Chains A and B, each alone.
Chain A
């Protein structure tokens, strides 16, 4: 089951500079486990030690933010496209 994953510039150190990689899995969690077996450390940048999606990243499945889908349990199917981006925030407080 092939799922295309777009990696942002800041995380391409984990993918040997590749901006597009392929993985497999029937949920986002399974996909990230699969990717981590080939791109060591990538998963740790996306998931906290407590197993939640890191607030410093956005993950999209077919352009929908997974925070509004099923989070890490979002179901994936062959041909789906996943995009990872850094979340951007800040401010004076």
Chain B
């Protein structure tokens, strides 16, 4: 289960719609497992079919989180023409990226489509998004 406040859900959805037709991406940090902060990141690839964290921005964000003794809770990104479900590319990157949760939003329609997953050893498992 991924537990995040309504404000973060709204931010992720708004970010996805703003960057559409390109994919958006970002990070949610936590302290002792509870979501604390959301970082809207640049998609260095500026692509409708992929995202890459900008390496300089990622260094600043990671250090900010680490220095505050917070941890990485979730990485989020959008799919712009397909469902909010991890692609093979997502599964491949999940092995080394170090995020417990993968939060996806689809911006293919006006309908809200936000889903969260754990990906372990290539196995994708959907989980509840509990909004607080």
Contacts and interface: CB of A to CB of B under 8 A. Distances in A.
Contact of A90 (B62, B63, B72, B90): B90
A93 B89 contact: yes
**Could you say which interface size class chain A belongs to?**
20 to 34
Contacts, number: 94
Interface residues of B, number: 36
Nearest to A68: B55
29 contacts: A9-B98, A45-B96, A56-B93, A56-B96, A57-B96, A58-B58, A58-B59, A63-B56, A67-B55, A83-B59, A83-B63, A85-B59, A85-B62, A86-B96, A86-B98, A87-B52, A87-B53, A88-B93, A89-B52, A90-B25, A90-B50, A90-B51, A90-B93, A90-B97, A90-B102, A91-B47, A91-B51, A91-B79, A92-B81
Interface of B: 23, 25, 45, 47, 49-53, 55-56, 58-59, 62-63, 66, 71-72, 75, 77, 79-82, 86-87, 89-90, 93-99, 102
